[in-house]
Amino acid sequence: MNLILLGAPGAGKGSQAVKLKEHYGIPHISTGDAFRSNISKGTEIGLYAKSFIDKGLLVPDDVVVGIVKARLEEADCANGFILDGFPRTVPQAEALDKITAVDCIIDFKVDRETVLKRLTGRRSCSCGGTFHVSKLKSEYCPVCGKKLYIRADDKPEVIEERLRVYKETTAPVAEYYREQGKLFEVDANLDIDKVYDIIVAKLG
Protein backbone atom coordinates (compact mmCIF):
# COMPACT_ATOMS: atom_id res chain seq x y z
CA MET A 1 0.00 0.00 0.00
CA ASN A 2 1.45 3.34 -1.09
CA LEU A 3 0.12 6.28 0.92
CA ILE A 4 0.63 10.04 1.01
CA LEU A 5 -0.26 12.20 4.02
CA LEU A 6 -1.13 15.81 3.16
CA GLY A 7 -1.97 18.68 5.48
CA ALA A 8 -0.76 21.92 6.97
CA PRO A 9 2.11 21.97 9.48
CA GLY A 10 0.76 20.77 12.84
CA ALA A 11 -2.10 18.81 11.30
CA GLY A 12 -0.90 15.60 12.97
CA LYS A 13 0.50 13.79 9.94
CA GLY A 14 3.61 12.61 11.76
CA SER A 15 1.69 11.17 14.71
CA GLN A 16 -0.66 9.25 12.42
CA ALA A 17 2.23 8.05 10.26
CA VAL A 18 3.81 6.33 13.27
CA LYS A 19 0.56 4.48 14.05
CA LEU A 20 -0.09 3.56 10.41
CA LYS A 21 3.48 2.30 10.01
CA GLU A 22 2.94 -0.16 12.85
CA HIS A 23 -0.49 -1.21 11.59
CA TYR A 24 0.45 -1.89 7.97
CA GLY A 25 4.11 -2.79 8.41
CA ILE A 26 5.39 -0.28 5.84
CA PRO A 27 8.02 2.45 6.32
CA HIS A 28 7.19 6.03 7.25
CA ILE A 29 9.20 8.34 5.03
CA SER A 30 9.42 11.91 6.30
CA THR A 31 11.33 14.34 4.12
CA GLY A 32 11.63 16.58 7.16
CA ASP A 33 13.48 13.86 9.07
CA ALA A 34 15.69 13.19 6.06
CA PHE A 35 16.67 16.85 5.85
CA ARG A 36 17.22 17.16 9.61
CA SER A 37 19.46 14.09 9.46
CA ASN A 38 21.55 15.74 6.74
CA ILE A 39 21.60 19.03 8.64
CA SER A 40 22.83 17.37 11.85
CA LYS A 41 25.58 15.66 9.86
CA GLY A 42 26.56 18.95 8.25
CA THR A 43 26.28 17.61 4.71
CA GLU A 44 26.27 20.01 1.78
CA ILE A 45 22.66 19.23 0.91
CA GLY A 46 21.72 19.55 4.58
CA LEU A 47 23.20 23.02 4.94
CA TYR A 48 21.55 24.07 1.68
CA ALA A 49 18.18 22.79 2.88
CA LYS A 50 18.63 24.50 6.28
CA SER A 51 18.82 27.93 4.66
CA PHE A 52 15.25 27.40 3.43
CA ILE A 53 13.78 25.42 6.35
CA ASP A 54 14.83 27.96 9.00
CA LYS A 55 12.85 30.63 7.14
CA GLY A 56 9.78 28.42 6.74
CA LEU A 57 10.34 28.16 2.99
CA LEU A 58 10.22 25.07 0.79
CA VAL A 59 13.38 23.28 -0.29
CA PRO A 60 13.78 23.30 -4.14
CA ASP A 61 11.88 20.52 -5.90
CA ASP A 62 14.84 18.87 -7.59
CA VAL A 63 16.64 18.33 -4.27
CA VAL A 64 13.57 16.89 -2.55
CA VAL A 65 12.59 14.63 -5.46
CA GLY A 66 16.08 13.19 -5.66
CA ILE A 67 16.11 12.29 -1.97
CA VAL A 68 12.63 10.73 -2.11
CA LYS A 69 13.37 8.70 -5.24
CA ALA A 70 16.49 7.22 -3.68
CA ARG A 71 14.56 6.37 -0.50
CA LEU A 72 11.72 4.64 -2.36
CA GLU A 73 14.24 2.39 -4.12
CA GLU A 74 15.38 0.90 -0.81
CA ALA A 75 14.35 -2.67 0.02
CA ASP A 76 11.97 -1.86 2.89
CA CYS A 77 9.65 -0.03 0.47
CA ALA A 78 8.95 -3.18 -1.56
CA ASN A 79 5.51 -3.66 0.02
CA GLY A 80 4.56 -0.01 0.26
CA PHE A 81 5.33 3.24 2.05
CA ILE A 82 3.86 6.24 3.84
CA LEU A 83 5.07 9.58 2.51
CA ASP A 84 4.82 12.43 5.02
CA GLY A 85 5.75 15.92 3.83
CA PHE A 86 6.01 15.02 0.16
CA PRO A 87 4.84 16.02 -2.38
CA ARG A 88 4.52 19.66 -1.35
CA THR A 89 4.06 21.16 -4.80
CA VAL A 90 2.22 20.06 -7.94
CA PRO A 91 5.52 19.63 -9.85
CA GLN A 92 6.68 17.29 -7.06
CA ALA A 93 3.42 15.33 -7.38
CA GLU A 94 3.89 15.08 -11.13
CA ALA A 95 7.47 13.88 -10.59
CA LEU A 96 6.28 11.25 -8.09
CA ASP A 97 3.74 9.93 -10.63
CA LYS A 98 6.69 9.15 -12.91
CA ILE A 99 8.49 7.29 -10.11
CA THR A 100 5.71 5.14 -8.65
CA ALA A 101 1.94 4.72 -8.30
CA VAL A 102 0.10 5.93 -5.19
CA ASP A 103 -3.01 4.22 -3.81
CA CYS A 104 -4.49 6.87 -1.52
CA ILE A 105 -3.79 10.45 -0.47
CA ILE A 106 -5.08 11.39 2.98
CA ASP A 107 -5.68 15.13 3.39
CA PHE A 108 -5.63 16.28 7.03
CA LYS A 109 -8.01 19.25 7.36
CA VAL A 110 -7.23 21.39 10.41
CA ASP A 111 -8.08 24.86 11.77
CA ARG A 112 -5.39 27.54 11.98
CA GLU A 113 -5.98 27.95 15.72
CA THR A 114 -5.37 24.25 16.30
CA VAL A 115 -2.14 24.38 14.31
CA LEU A 116 -0.80 27.33 16.30
CA LYS A 117 -1.65 25.68 19.62
CA ARG A 118 0.05 22.44 18.61
CA LEU A 119 3.21 23.89 17.11
CA THR A 120 3.96 26.68 19.58
CA GLY A 121 3.70 24.10 22.36
CA ARG A 122 5.87 21.50 20.65
CA ARG A 123 9.28 20.66 22.09
CA SER A 124 11.92 18.49 20.43
CA CYS A 125 14.86 16.44 21.65
CA SER A 126 18.15 15.50 20.03
CA CYS A 127 17.21 11.84 20.57
CA GLY A 128 14.42 12.28 18.01
CA GLY A 129 11.52 12.62 20.43
CA THR A 130 8.78 15.22 20.02
CA PHE A 131 6.49 16.28 22.86
CA HIS A 132 3.87 18.91 23.76
CA VAL A 133 4.23 21.17 26.78
CA SER A 134 0.75 20.18 27.94
CA LYS A 135 2.03 16.65 28.64
CA LEU A 136 5.47 17.50 30.00
CA LYS A 137 6.47 17.77 33.65
CA SER A 138 9.76 19.57 33.02
CA GLU A 139 11.95 21.02 30.27
CA TYR A 140 13.81 17.74 29.96
CA CYS A 141 13.11 14.80 27.66
CA PRO A 142 11.09 12.08 29.44
CA VAL A 143 12.86 9.46 27.30
CA CYS A 144 16.57 10.30 27.51
CA GLY A 145 16.75 13.16 30.01
CA LYS A 146 18.32 15.71 27.68
CA LYS A 147 17.08 19.31 27.65
CA LEU A 148 14.30 19.90 25.15
CA TYR A 149 14.40 22.70 22.61
CA ILE A 150 12.10 24.62 20.27
CA ARG A 151 12.79 23.91 16.61
CA ALA A 152 13.52 26.99 14.53
CA ASP A 153 10.48 26.26 12.36
CA ASP A 154 8.18 26.05 15.42
CA LYS A 155 8.68 29.69 16.41
CA PRO A 156 5.47 31.79 15.97
CA GLU A 157 6.78 34.02 13.18
CA VAL A 158 8.09 31.04 11.21
CA ILE A 159 4.85 29.08 11.75
CA GLU A 160 2.89 31.91 10.16
CA GLU A 161 5.22 31.83 7.16
CA ARG A 162 4.95 28.02 6.92
CA LEU A 163 1.15 28.28 6.85
CA ARG A 164 1.27 30.97 4.16
CA VAL A 165 3.62 28.88 2.03
CA TYR A 166 1.44 25.80 2.55
CA LYS A 167 -1.69 27.60 1.41
CA GLU A 168 -0.01 28.94 -1.72
CA THR A 169 2.06 25.94 -2.82
CA THR A 170 0.91 22.73 -1.14
CA ALA A 171 -2.87 23.13 -0.92
CA PRO A 172 -3.12 22.85 -4.74
CA VAL A 173 -1.58 19.36 -4.46
CA ALA A 174 -4.83 18.20 -2.84
CA GLU A 175 -6.77 19.36 -5.90
CA TYR A 176 -4.28 17.59 -8.15
CA TYR A 177 -5.05 14.27 -6.43
CA ARG A 178 -8.76 15.03 -6.08
CA GLU A 179 -8.97 15.13 -9.85
CA GLN A 180 -7.36 11.67 -9.92
CA GLY A 181 -10.05 10.38 -7.54
CA LYS A 182 -7.48 9.36 -4.91
CA LEU A 183 -8.01 12.05 -2.25
CA PHE A 184 -9.56 11.24 1.15
CA GLU A 185 -10.19 14.09 3.60
CA VAL A 186 -10.16 13.60 7.38
CA ASP A 187 -10.99 16.07 10.16
CA ALA A 188 -7.61 16.44 11.88
CA ASN A 189 -9.04 18.66 14.63
CA LEU A 190 -10.35 15.48 16.23
CA ASP A 191 -8.57 13.38 18.87
CA ILE A 192 -5.57 11.47 17.52
CA ASP A 193 -7.16 8.06 18.16
CA LYS A 194 -10.40 9.07 16.45
CA VAL A 195 -8.51 10.31 13.39
CA TYR A 196 -6.62 7.00 13.28
CA ASP A 197 -9.81 4.95 13.45
CA ILE A 198 -11.34 6.94 10.58
CA ILE A 199 -8.26 6.42 8.39
CA VAL A 200 -8.01 2.67 9.06
CA ALA A 201 -11.73 2.23 8.40
CA LYS A 202 -11.22 3.92 5.04
CA LEU A 203 -8.10 1.98 4.04
CA GLY A 204 -9.21 -1.41 5.38
Active site residue 112: no
Question: Computed from CA positions of residues 103, 74, 93, 82, in that sequence, does the dihedral angle turn out positive or negative?
Answer: positive
Do the domain assignments include residue 129? no
Active site residue 164: no
Please state the length of the chain: 204
Catalytically annotated residue among 13, 50, 71, 123: 13
Residue 69: what pLDDT? Answer: 85
Active site residue 151: yes
Do the domain assignments include residue 117? no
Give me the tens of pLDDT residue by residue for the chain, a chain 204 residues long: 999 999 988 899 988 998 999 999 999 998 877 777 778 888 887 888 888 888 888 788 888 888 788 788 889 999 999 999 899 889 999 999 999 999 999 999 999 889 888 888 999 999 988 899 999 999 999 999 999 999 888 888 888 888 888 888 888 999 999 999 999 999 999 999 999 999 999 998
**Amino acid occupying residue 188:** A
Do the domain assignments include residue 197? yes
List Cβ neighbours of 84 (8 Å cut-off, separation of 6 or more): 5, 13, 14, 17, 28, 29, 30, 31, 32
Q: What is the number of structural domains in the chain?
A: 1
| Host domain of residue 185 | 2-110+170-203
Catalytically annotated residue among 55, 151, 178, 182: 151
Do the domain assignments include residue 157? no
Residue 183: what pLDDT? Answer: 96
**Amino acid occupying residue 12:** G
Active site residue 13: yes
Do the domain assignments include residue 124? no
Q: How far apart are the first and last CA of the chain?
A: 11
- Angle at which helix 112-120 crosses helix 156-165, to 10 degrees, equals 140
**Planar angle of CA 13, 132, 14, nearest 5 degrees:** 15
Active site residue 55: no
Residue 11 sits in a domain whose CATH number is 3.40.50.300
